[in-house]
Structure 1
Amino acid sequence: MSSSPTRGSKADEWIERLRAASTRDEVLGAVWDLRDDAYDFPGEWQRVSAVRLLHFLADQLEQVADGTVTWERFGRLIGNAVADARSGTPSNWDG
């Protein structure tokens, strides 16, 4: 067992959990885990500013053609926005 996590390993896990979430509680749990990860490993999150995250979230929400956002879809949208903000590469998938 390693004494420190590898770069991005926990954040990637929480992003995937968020993308897979289908209920309010699952979405909230994954968002809180991401928040904790950003607090515990700030170096991993240096590229993610509020402006950058909100930009990618807006991009994701614009892709929802029918205007319907369920908890399941919302989790995927936020997961994509966080992943995009961390990587700097926009995804073109509305989940």
Structure 2
Amino acid sequence: MSVDTDTVKRVAKLARIAIDEEAANRMTGELNAILGFVEQLNEVDVTGVEPLTSVIPVAMRLRVDEVTDGNKAADIVANAPAQADSFFMVPKVVE
């Protein structure tokens, strides 16, 4: 895959980035170099290689997956100017 100057200008317009002709030409070369590197990575044979999440083996800590309300309702509304039964009280805005 190759990127041309028109594609760079279109992407810059979509991203709302103002670029001049010189910058578009420079970015075309840079993006083509990046895409060339990605194509090289696609050629690497990775059969039998397991994906890594870390360079050292680390066991993830697990917790019990249970549904709770957090038991923090009182803490959450503690600084509210008005509250009732762990709910925020707000002024009526629609009549």
Q: Give the TM-score, by structure 1 length.
A: 0.23
Q: Which has the larger radius of gyration?
A: 2
Larger RCO (CA within 8 A; separation ≥ 6): 1
The structure that is helix-richer by fraction is: 1
